[in-house]
Structure 1
Amino acid sequence: MLGVERMSKAIRLSRLFNGQTGNTVLLPVDHGILGEVQGLEDPIEVLERLIPLGVDGVLMNNGIRLRSESLFYGRLAPSRILSSDTFYLEEGAMHHDLIAMPETALQAGCDCVKVLLFWNRPGSENMHNIRMISELVKEAERCQIPVMIEPLLYDPVPDAKTKIKALTDATRIAYELGADILKVVHPGEHEVLKQWVGKFKVPLVMLGGGLNGGVDDLIRLVDQAVKAGVRGVAIGRNVWQRPKEESERVMRMFTEVVHGRIS
């Protein structure tokens, strides 16, 4: 029985990655939990438009999951990753908590849950995040649902060296907490990213952050990351905040680069 339980989690994890290349193109549309977001006023329209262009999986909140279910019918439909948390700031303090548990993802047929790990915060907040994620990982293991952890820095850091050290610490902590997938920001140095791939023995996917730069620079960054061993991308705002034709071109290029069709 134990082997069957382990296999069920492995099967769900495998659904997030292309069977031929082992890589993935994930589309996050979960930003609206913080309020209205430019480019994501109609998440269903975004999904209808971009899913056919090579999306392997979608990160979403529970409300969008309920309203988009028909887009995920069929054997070749993308996987769904349920976002499990949200946060708010009040007078400098961060309130960060869970809003969806692994059991919800299991009952909904999702293949993974995702949670944020903010690290360079006051000690009490860091400890809250560690306890919260530990409980989520424990519950996800019971449900045999993989966990994607996204280590992030919220407060500014004084220089690039300090930022890299803080990001590396946060990524190590996410790994130690039991991440099955790490959704990481590019640390700013290609060699550091390669070191992460070597040290953290789970798939890494790269997030994109806010809309910035031109398409060519973005694609070049993704190409370098994949060549370093990153297993794909989870980029939302840098796609759907662009004009529609450009966003569709970016999504097609992600698919080509991540799955090795161009280099």
Structure 2
Amino acid sequence: MYDGFEDPGETLDHVLEADPDGILASVPFLRRFESRIAAADVHTIGTIDLLYDSTLPGQHEDAEIHTQVFSAADAAEVADAAKVALVYGRDEPGVLKENAEFVARASEACRAADIPLVVEPTLWGNRVTDEFDPDLLAHANRLAFELGADILKSPYPTAGFEPIAANAPQPMYIAGGPAVDTDREVLEMVRGACDAGALGVMFGRNIWQRDDPAAVIDALSSIVHGDTTVEEAATQL
């Protein structure tokens, strides 16, 4: 279990205090806290797949387990959109084959359920030496929208992101990845991504693992919606 998520309800309440644009979580999480989220009147995205790197719970190894666990119809019951991962760099080609086929099926199912599909192309396999390689991410994002993504959630390389965003025919948001050391680094990441063409962010640990998630959300909102500088946004921390 990640630090800061020992009490999911408490973590959710801290995030909702800052009036975020939306919540991205698993379908069961959204169902469990449906009344709290509905009261906050935010958009919701339901994750319908699951990735494991070990057959032991809570352990991290190098297994390549990626599977669909919920349907687009499940997501449509509690969310405004569904999200899946498209993982590159695995050792076994069959894993990518199954992943790509799953994403394409999910796109078709989401169209039938009348909800958009968010695809998160990632470089998480053992063959990857740099999960923020801009050249690989450019190809990964292109393949994601060719498989049917309505929205892209991309890792953010600090250099080389602008042509990736420019080449995307779908709205692009950046993923946060592991929590960075300081709140200011989060703001700098988002300011740089927006300047390079991202429409916003879909962050997890870089929100709920911060000391004051609500303040960080307020600061990020000022950048994304108010086009403020890092210095201006930092005054809200």
Tell me the C-alpha RMSD between the 2 structures: 1.9
Aligned length: 221
How far apart, CA to CA, are the structure 1 residues paired with 2:156 and 2:65? Answer: 26
1:113 equivalent in alignment to 2:82: yes
1:146 equivalent in alignment to 2:116: yes
How far apart, CA to CA, are the structure 2 residues paired with 1:73 and 1:54? Answer: 12
Deviation string, structure 1 residues 49-101 (Cα, Å, up to 9, x no partner):
22131311101112211221112335x71011110100223574412111111
**Which one scores higher on RCO, CA 8 angstroms, separation ≥ 6?**
1
Q: Give the letter aligned to residue 129 of structure 1.
A: N
The answer as to whether partners of 1:85 and 1:98 remain within 8 angstroms in 2 is yes
Q: Give the letter aligned to residue 61 of structure 1.
A: S
Change (3 A) 1:231 1:261: closer
1:88 equivalent in alignment to 2:43: no
Deviation string, structure 1 residues 143-174 (Cα, Å, up to 9, x no partner):
111000000011353469x9222222211111
Q: Where do 1:154-173 residues align within 5 Å?
A: 154-155=124-125, 157-158=128-129, 163-173=133-143
TM-score of the pair, normalised by structure 2: 0.86
The answer as to whether partners of 1:44 and 1:64 remain within 8 angstroms in 2 is no
1:58 equivalent in alignment to 2:27: no
SS of alignment partner, residue 53 of structure 2: strand
Which of 136, 161, 176 in structure 2 is aligned with 1:208?
Answer: 176
SS of alignment partner, residue 73 of structure 1: helix
Deviation string, structure 1 residues 100-139 (Cα, Å, up to 9, x no partner):
111112233x110000110111311111111111111111
Runs of 4+ in structure 1 off by over 4 angstroms are none
Deviation string, structure 1 residues 18-75 (Cα, Å, up to 9, x no partner):
xxxxxxxxxxxxxxxxxx221111222122122131311101112211221112335x
SS of alignment partner, residue 53 of structure 1: coil
Change (3 A) 1:226 1:217: same
How far apart, CA to CA, are the structure 1 residues paired with 2:24 and 2:115? Answer: 14
The answer as to whether partners of 1:115 and 1:150 remain within 8 angstroms in 2 is yes
Q: Where do 1:29-108 residues align within 5 Å?
A: 36-73=1-38, 77-90=41-54, 92-108=62-78
Aligned counterpart, 1:241: 209
Structure 2 gap ranges (5+): 55-60, 230-237
SS of alignment partner, residue 133 of structure 1: helix
The answer as to whether partners of 1:205 and 1:232 remain within 8 angstroms in 2 is yes
Percent identity of equivalent pairs: 29
